[in-house]
Chains A and B, each alone.
Chain A
Amino acid sequence: GENVEQHPSTLSVQEGDSAVIKCTYSDSASNYFPWYKQELGKGPQLIIDIRSNVGEKKDQRIAVTLNKTAKHFSLHITETQPEDSAVYFCAAIYYNNAGNMLTFGGGTRLMVKP
């Protein structure tokens, strides 16, 4: 199966600064990498994803980069705002007999200080 590691586990930034969260994966066959934002007491919400045929994807203040050779991908949030405070999870898709399966990283608690 797939193994996804995520760093850092906690991240505190000042409002307006950038935040970067990094993940590595083990299965070179994985080809889809979503990022989720989870607010307290809620389910994860997809914020951005990237497929393995793309090296970078951007959506307003959020961007994700993927290095297939090194098997790592990163989430970049620019101009952070207090409402960006949440737990962020990276994930990777791997394949087994049941089809494609999602493996999560350990999560990063992002705190944006006003």
Chain B
Amino acid sequence: GAVVSQHPSWVICKSGTSVKIECRSLDFQATTMFWYRQFPKQSLMLMATSNEGSKATYEQGVEKDKFLINHASLTLSTLTVTSAHPEDSSFYICSARVAGAVGYTFGSGTRLTVV
């Protein structure tokens, strides 16, 4: 089946630094990728939708200059948290929609802790 590989699984960074999270579709072409943020004991909240080769569409309230999304190829999307602050600490999950299919495949998530 469709597999999305997400790295790193966890990262600790200092406040003010930037962190990049990668998601790769291993055996399919992901024309659309989604980035979610999940706080403890809460549901997944969609941050942005990215289509290969075009700018990401951000959900209301998500700062596009802080959460940079790049989807330069059909198999790779990255989320960069710039100038991270402790309140950005969360679990970030990517998801890909397989071209021509209705289903979604999720990455394994990245636990970001900003100290």
Contacts and interface: CB of A to CB of B under 8 A. Distances in A.
Interface of A: 32, 34, 36, 41-46, 49, 89, 93, 98-102, 104-107, 109
The secondary-structure label for the interface of chain A is: strand
Interface in B59-115: 91, 93, 95, 97, 102-109, 111
B106 A100 contact: no
Interface of B: 6, 32, 34, 41-44, 46, 49, 51, 57, 91, 93, 95, 97, 102-109, 111
A99 B103 contact: no
Contact of B44 (A44, A49, A99): A44
B31 to A, nearest CB: 9
Contact of A43 (B43, B102, B103, B108): B108
